[in-house]
Structure 1
Amino acid sequence: MRHVFFGLSGGLGPILRNVPTAKEFERAGIEVSFSIYGEYGISLLQRLGLPVHMDDDPIRPGARYRIPPQPMFYHLDHYYAQMGLLDKQFTAAWVRNRIRMVEQAKADLIVSDMSPHTIIAAKVLGIPSIAITQSCLHARGKPLFWGHPPRNLPRVTPVINEILRSYRLPEISRMEELHSGDLDIAPSIPELDPIGDNRVIHAGPISMNMHETHRLELPDGQTGILVYPGRMRDASGETGLHLLRAVFSAFARKKVTVVVATSEALPASLLRSCPRNVRIVPTFNEDMLHRFDLFIHHGGHGSCLSAICQGVPSLMIPTQREREFNARQMHRIGAGEYMMPLTFTSAHLYGLSMYMLHEEYRERVRQLRDKVKKRHYGGARLVYEHAVRLQTAHQR
């Protein structure tokens, strides 16, 4: 094996769970390179010293094929319709560009994290592929929407199938099938990510510390709450800002210490309303988390797993459907509670937070933490070892 290509969607989560595996390859003398969407992800990978391929295809989806971005998509066909994949010309170019990128990388192994055109490129070029997946993104996993989706939602699968036929590849029945490779690995635990396919490997939580740990002196005997709001603004609106406004209002003048972790600049009006018992820090690492009594966050996959690993209950305010899935699962396994955005008052948020300080919540999540520790998951090293076996088998 000489070169591994990582195709990522975007955001911080895929970086945190794939860079540790990339480092395993590099330690073995194997070159790696990445593709990711979004300036933040590109710059972060570059700061970590990892090569990034730039997606410079000028073609964009036609306006008449776009549907408005929305937080509560029902399945991946609906989600990718928001990305412009209803436009066949754009989607065909999107796939061609990815095939060309992988060819230029001279990759002999593909790792895809929510990157269907990377999986297609691997199939077209005959390169073995690993899909990093979650339950709600896998064809045999628990679905994103816990109910019956509405009728007549947009579907991009017919467009994709036209493209697959042009490359003489088998058709798919839904987009979740392109979140699967020759080997599927969930960087998670089966409690959070149940998948009804025993070929899927649960590697356990995979993450990395990005920053130097802050020294946080919490007052003796006082409750400590860590808040991670995610992005202040995203395609769903001002989700992070709404969360922080609710937190500031709920905990003002209360006998708790609240630490908000965000590297984004906050509006002056919001900073003026920041209570004295709330401290804002630019970053946090997982090993900070165990110092706190409660973790309020946006329901991200990595945040959920960090809370489990550190034995801290989560109060989640999920800002889109995948995070709602995570929040529902966390509640189902006894690791936390959730509230939907814009459905609660500050008094409700404070009351539920205080209720979650009861020992039963901490005890349940600590029992789960201890159970996970005893399994001795391999994490990034396990992904690397399976990748070597896959590539060796492919060469035979």
Structure 2
Amino acid sequence: MKRVLLIPSDHGGGRGHVSRCIYLAKKLQAGGSETAIVLEQKHYQDGIDAGIPSYLLDTKKERFLKFQFKKPFWPRIKMIERVERPPVFLVFNGVAYQVPRDEYLSTRIVLMRFKKLVKIVEQFKPDVLIGDTHFLTFLLGKKFSLPVIQITRLAAFPPAPRFFWWLQDEPRLVEPNAIEPFAPLLEKLAINDVRKAEDLLRGDLYLIPASDQIEPVDGGRDDVLFCGPLTENYRGDQKIPFFDLPVDVPKIYVTAGGGANRFGQQAFFEALLKIFDRRDFKVLVSTGGLYPAKNLNGQSTNVLFVDWIDGMSAIRKSDLVIHHGGYGSMMETLSAAKPSIVIPFHSEQEGNGRRLKELQVGDLHLPYAGKLQDLLFSWPFGVYSMMAGTELALDAEQIISMIDGIYDQSLYARLQKISEELLRLQKNFDALKMLERV
């Protein structure tokens, strides 16, 4: 039986990458494989709690590498010109932006992380590596001549990524020079065909945690496997008194997502309160701990805020879900055959909302008004740009109109078909046979 080491991206929100890998590790364990997972401090306990042998990738000591004896003496990301208001929506165009976000701020940091991962591989002695948007998994595979399985999707699909798949002309942005931090390591490993960030996410097999309808990559390829959601499907039985009482009005669940990183959370939640107060809906809003629910409650009889709730339970008990467009939330709503409206914080989430709209099972509401502003950042490897919407604007009548337009039988028929396909793929996914393909 093969030994498998899973390496998810553990930066940013991170929870989606980690939870997928934990689910996959448990599935492999159940089949008799020996598995282990590499996690940073933020999610390390999650692996322990799941019963997965966990290795800590300690990045705290990297702070000692952020001071150097040559320029830049203090490698960091800096906004060159500040905006008057924090962004409520960000535009970027690919995984290259994840390199500075993941704090690959110097070649020394890259080499230090790689050295730690090398020690973990030497200790665990895996036969297969599985990565989830982690930029060093492919390079580890090259060093140890190990097969690599990459959990991926259309937006970051290494052979042919399509981030702005809904646009003919992509926004003109200056991408981060994402390969430069890895240049010494690439040279050391004699890898000379890496040209863009997605090239660092290559593998021998690509595992797509969806269906080809949701992620239309080239499914005819021998190295692509659609497996359905990498998440437990037995969750969702938590009691929710606010939703459990019988009512004759639609029940709406709103979640901002713990990894949304939206600025101005208070204004966002207050806008939701203003939209739904005294309307014919019963609305449950999870703040995800981004803003105290107690500061918002008591102002409405039909809108309740909570700091945390079991998301799958709330989804299953609701008639409609409003979410930020995170991949996990999208797959949970589709698996539960629930319509949704996406209010995204950034372009990747917008893409998920547009996919739901294209499939005619949801809608999209961009949360800003006015023109997008240019944002310019400097980092040790040059400059890069994004664009931002800084004026929060939730159009109440447009959102209510979207909700009214969702309730038709054809939509539920489409949702049911998509849900059945996802659950079929999930049920038929054989993780052990997957290992035989690499």
Q: Shorter-chain TM-score: which interval?
A: 0.7 to 0.9
Aligned match of 1:115 in 97, 119, 134? 134
- On the 8 A contact 1:298/1:318 being kept in 2, the answer is yes
What is the Cα deviation at residue 312 of structure 1?
1.7
* Aligned length in residues: 387
Check 1:44–1:86 CA distance in 2 against 1; reply closer, same or farther (3 A cut).
closer
What is the Cα deviation at residue 378 of structure 1?
3.3
- On the 8 A contact 2:19/2:231 being kept in 1, the answer is yes
Deviates more, 1:161-170 or 1:299-308: 161-170
Tell me how far apart the structure 2 counterparts of residues 385 and 268 of structure 1 sit (CA, whole Å): 44
Tell me how far apart the structure 2 counterparts of residues 334 and 353 of structure 1 sit (CA, whole Å): 17
Aligned match of 2:279 in 254, 260, 264? 254
Gaps of 5+ in 1: 392-396
Aligned match of 2:44 in 27, 42, 45? 42
Report SS of the residue matched to 1:356.
Answer: helix
> Which amino acid in 1 is paired with 2:124?
A
State the match for 2:339 in structure 1. Answer: 313
What is the Cα deviation at residue 273 of structure 1?
5.9
State the match for 1:237 in structure 2. Answer: 263
Structure 1 residues 68-147: aligned runs within 5 Å: 71-139=90-158, 140-144=160-164, 146=167, 147=169
State the match for 2:82 in structure 1. Answer: none
**Higher relative contact order (CA closer than 8 Å, sequence separation 6+):** 2
Report SS of the residue matched to 1:64.
Answer: coil
TM-score (norm 1): 0.86
- On the 8 A contact 1:161/1:171 being kept in 2, the answer is no
Deviations 1:121-145 (A, max 9, x none): 1221112111001110113232257
What is the Cα deviation at residue 176 of structure 1?
1.1
What is the Cα deviation at residue 81 of structure 1?
2.6
What is the Cα deviation at residue 314 of structure 1?
1.1
Check 1:274–1:29 CA distance in 2 against 1; reply closer, same or farther (3 A cut).
farther
Aligned match of 2:410 in 363, 378, 381? 363
Report SS of the residue matched to 2:244.
Answer: coil
Tell me how far apart the structure 2 counterparts of residues 268 and 288 of structure 1 sit (CA, whole Å): 16
Check 1:92–1:374 CA distance in 2 against 1; reply closer, same or farther (3 A cut).
closer
Deviations 1:222-246 (A, max 9, x none): 1110111112873x5345x444222
What is the Cα deviation at residue 157 of structure 1?
1.5
Gaps of 5+ in 2: 67-73, 80-85, 370-391
State the match for 2:296 in structure 1. Answer: 271
**1:9 lines up with 2:37 in the alignment:** no
Deviations 1:244-296 (A, max 9, x none): 22221211122211112355274377334652212345322435424322110
> Which amino acid in 2 is paired with 1:4?
V
Tell me how far apart the structure 1 counterparts of residues 238 and 101 of structure 2 sit (CA, whole Å): 38
Check 1:366–1:306 CA distance in 2 against 1; reply closer, same or farther (3 A cut).
farther
- On the 8 A contact 2:322/2:341 being kept in 1, the answer is yes
Deviations 1:293-337 (A, max 9, x none): 211001011211222222221111112222122112221221211
State the match for 1:219 in structure 2. Answer: 246
What is the Cα deviation at residue 73 of structure 1?
2.6
Alignment identity in percent?
Answer: 21
State the match for 1:153 in structure 2. Answer: 175
Check 1:82–1:17 CA distance in 2 against 1; reply closer, same or farther (3 A cut).
closer
Tell me how far apart the structure 2 counterparts of residues 328 and 284 of structure 1 sit (CA, whole Å): 26
- On the 8 A contact 1:300/1:323 being kept in 2, the answer is yes
Structure 1 residues 262-341: aligned runs within 5 Å: 262-264=287-289, 266-267=291-292, 270-272=295-297, 274-281=299-306, 282-286=308-312, 288-341=314-367
> Which amino acid in 2 is paired with 1:155?
N
TM-score (norm 2): 0.78
> Which amino acid in 1 is paired with 2:228?
G
- On the 8 A contact 1:336/1:361 being kept in 2, the answer is no
- On the 8 A contact 1:108/1:128 being kept in 2, the answer is yes
Deviates more, 1:186-195 or 1:201-210: 201-210
Deviations 1:160-201 (A, max 9, x none): 243212112343121112223111011012222121363222
